[in-house]
Amino acid sequence: MKSPDNWSGRIALMVAHCAGMVDLVALPVWVGTLIARYGFDPQQAGALATLFLAGAVVASLWVAPRFHRVQPRWVAPAAYGLAAIAFMGCSQATQFGSLAILHALGGLAAGTGLSVTHGTVGRSANPHRLFGIMGTALGVFGVVFMAAAPQIIAAVGGPALFLVFGGVMVVACLVTALLFPDHAMPRAGQKPKASALPRQVWFGILGISCMALVQAMVFSFLERMGADRGFGTAAVNGLLIALGLINLVPGGLAAALQRKLDPRSVVLAGAALQAVLALVLTWSTGFPPYAAAGAVFVAVMIFSHTFCFGLLAALDPSGRAVAATPAMLMVGSAIGPILGGTLVKGFGYPALGAVALVIDVAALVLFARLVGGRPAVAAVKGAAT
């Protein structure tokens, strides 16, 4: 029997995670390609990315409450297969309307696959550690993508981006069809329940959603910020590759430090650091501060979210809370590109930093409520033993 706790199951979950989280890696290239190769303005390009992410949110919100009743073993490959078809269709489209429909359909499909993937991780023996391992896999994927995709797009043209996305989804479809765990097993001594989620869970969900909004809003325009400030294509592409290399670290590091760091402190520090980095990225005019902040911007989110994921999995053994991970990440991410595009179009890049600061302050308030609950602390300590 395939299980999330053996390596065949883990490989399937890692591949599914990388495919479903492609936006976390690809947003700068995605938005940049839509602007530079398709001629859309920042608001239109952000809107297309937002439609994909909104589709993922809708799918996750539908799947998560029903996760204890679905069969992830069959849902995952079907979902990624449909996402591949949608992206292949995007490679043949040039009009905004057609691309909008296909982006939304692709998001619905990918969000479904990602939701059942994260729900299955939540039922594993150690969700925090497994999610950290998956974060490292996403970092490897990011390095390969950032090294190859810009070169392919430069040589072939804008449609190549969607062919790459489609190929990623095809691989996820095949691997999950062969190796995905047969069913989501509850952790030892725990039975999945359909009772109401603990109040502490909602503080974590809303807090990480705020961080995801800042992540998408700023990261979507990382490449454009560098290009518009005249830093040069080679320098900006070098930063994207460095960013991918750095992203190899936070997932594994978070898994290694599971029993050494208090998850409550990690999420608070993560929100504060994200705000500082967003301000540096959007307000600096020199390449060194821009590059330094940009290189670690995604890593802060990956590290913080791994601890938040483990905390939510401990609070809700049914797996429903973490099955909603695509929704909690992408509800922010869905708003981020179009909000960022609107701010850039109307007020320039510094407006991104100002709004990011306000949103991260909201995340800090929510995480402060999360850390105040003794049940949350007890749950995490129980899960780590």
Per-residue pLDDT of the chain (385 residues; tens, 9 = 90+): 566 667 788 898 999 999 998 887 787 789 889 998 898 888 888 889 889 988 988 998 888 777 767 787 889 999 999 999 999 999 999 899 999 999 999 999 999 999 889 888 877 778 888 888 888 888 888 888 888 888 899 898 989 999 999 999 999 999 999 988 875 444 444 454 555 666 777 888 888 889 989 988 898 788 888 888 888 888 888 888 888 788 888 888 888 888 888 888 899 999 999 999 999 999 988 899 999 999 999 899 989 988 888 888 777 766 666 777 777 777 776 787 778 888 888 888 899 999 999 999 999 999 888 754 444 444 444 444 4
Of 84, 93, 97, the closest CA to residue 22 belongs to: 84
CA–CA distance, 130 with 77 (Å, rounded to integer): 20
CA–CA distance, 16 with 22 (Å, rounded to integer): 10
Q: What is the pLDDT of residue 292?
A: 93
CA 341, 342, 345, 347 torsion: positive or negative? negative
Q: What is the pLDDT of residue 198?
A: 67
CATH among 1.25.40.10, 3.40.50.2000, 1.20.1250.20, 1.10.10.370 for 7-184+197-384? 1.20.1250.20
CB 110 within 8 A of CB 58: no
Q: What is the pLDDT of residue 379?
A: 47
pTM across the whole model: 0.76
CA–CA distance, 25 with 157 (Å, rounded to integer): 20
Cα 223 from chain centre? 18
CB 264 within 8 A of CB 376: yes
Q: Which two tokens stand for residue 151?
A: 């070169």
CB 304 within 8 A of CB 266: yes
Q: Where are the alpha helices (DSSP H) in 157-259?
A: 159-179, 199-219, 222-228, 233-246, 249-256
Q: What is the pLDDT of residue 318?
A: 64
Q: What is the pLDDT of residue 371?
A: 55
Q: What is the pLDDT of residue 276?
A: 95
Q: What angle do CA 62, 200, 379 make, to 5 degrees?
A: 105
Q: What is the pLDDT of residue 234?
A: 86
**b/e 182-200 (16+ beta carbons within 10 angstroms → b):** eebbbbeeeebeeeebbeb
Q: What is the pLDDT of residue 31?
A: 85
Q: Which two tokens stand for residue 319?
A: 């797996």
